[in-house]
Amino acid sequence: MMHGLETNFGQTPSQTVGPYFAYGLAASQYGYDFNQPYGSVVALGHARGERIRLEGRILDGNGEAISDALVEIWQVDGEGAYPCSADDALKGGFRGIGRSGTGTDAQHRYRFDTVKPGAQSPGEAPHIDMVVTMRGLLLHVFTRVYFDDETQRNSGDAVLKAVPVGRRHTLIARRVQKGNEVTYEFDVHMQGTDETVFFDL
């Protein structure tokens, strides 16, 4: 170290995400023989709550589906609770966290098999927290997924009410009945006139 010279260069900047996340974070989905704690199945059959599928695409500014995105979600179960431990998650059949890439589906969709979350606290609407990352994105982005069949509770949610009225629809998943299965469709628009609302966390 040279005396008299400033050596504080500040924080190292974030770097773009490479393709390694397929191996490190969604290994089984991409066909790697690598153990991982989280995948696209968030809730097993005995988890508390209504069984649902959450799926959608990550779209660029031209409306094209992005093939190398990784989506991570966090949520409570149907009674509004997170698992407290690994044993609790195993016993309740609910992990609370899931990861899904967009590179293995022909339409570049992510997909989660889970349960519809309950409200975490009074006055809060049911929702799923979502993080999106992909190649070329310097920082991952945070958003929320609300449900279009929860109109009354959505209207009282403090976070959703803080979003400008004209942009709230970008946070609402659409319920679709597919036979006996309930699917909520939620596309994330990274740019453009219909850009999804992202939160600064």
pTM of the model: 0.88
Report if residue 4 sits inside a domain.
no
Q: How many domains does the chain have?
A: 1
**Polymer length in residues for the chain:** 201
What is the pLDDT of the chain when averaged over all its residues? 90
Helical residues (DSSP H) of the chain, grouped into ranges: 21-25, 86-92, 151-155, 158-161
In the three-class reduction of DSSP (H, G, I as helix; E, B as strand; rest coil), residue 14 is classed as: coil
Question: pLDDT tens digits, residue range 177-191?
Answer: 988 899 999 999 999
161/35: higher pLDDT: 161
Which CATH number characterizes residue 119's domain? 2.60.130.10
> How confident is residue 16, by pLDDT bands cut at 50, 70 and 90?
low
Q: Lowest-pLDDT range, 25-29, 70-74, 166-170, 196-200?
A: 25-29
Could you list the residue range(s) of the whole structural domain that residue 54 is in?
21-189
Report if residue 182 sits inside a domain.
yes
Percent of the chain with pLDDT over 70: 91
Report if residue 195 sits inside a domain.
no
Residues 131-151 have a mean pLDDT of 92
Report if residue 69 sits inside a domain.
yes
Q: Lowest-pLDDT range, 3-7, 79-83, 180-184?
A: 3-7
3-state SS track over 97-120: EEEEECCCCCCCEEEEEEECCCCC
Residue 166 has pLDDT above 90, yes or no: yes
